[in-house]
Amino acid sequence: MTSALKKQWHNLAFSGLILHEILDHPLEDETPQARLKQVGMMTILYTMSQAHQKLTLSNIIDITELTRTGVKETVDLLVKRGMLTETMVKNSMGRGTARQFEISKGLLNKLSSFRVSQDGGLN
């Protein structure tokens, strides 16, 4: 199977996984709109991650054109869910700190449990 097809299956598996994790496990007092924003944000963050872009608030704001507050609220919910991990790093100017995120190892482990069979289907 071509690597392009494997990548497409991997992307579909990730989309299904985040839909399941977010929509089937709502947080207390969470609105449907907030869950939908999280699904969209995870899709963007996954794409950024695949392109080796740093997942910082500034980079996410640049890509999404959302406000800092809008990005922060959605990302904070994803950290609370355990879908993202957060670390503090030096900011791009090297003077202060910035929040940097990664897709959690737990979520990636769940994703890796989906294997693509020889005929191109998911196992």
Go through the domains of the chain in sequence order and give each one's CATH number: 3-110 (1.10.10.10)
pLDDT at 90: 77
pLDDT at 114: 67
Is the pLDDT assigned to residue 89 strictly greater than 70?
yes
Enter the pTM of the model.
0.84
Please write the tens of the pLDDT for every residue from 13-70.
899 999 999 999 999 999 999 999 999 999 999 999 999 999 999 999 999 999 999 9
**Contact indicator for 102, 55 with CB cutoff of 8 Å:** yes
Look at 91 and 15; give whichever has higher pLDDT. Answer: 15
pLDDT at 117: 45
Per-chain mean pLDDT for the chain: 88
Cα dist. 80→30, 52, 92, 95 in Å?
12, 23, 25, 28
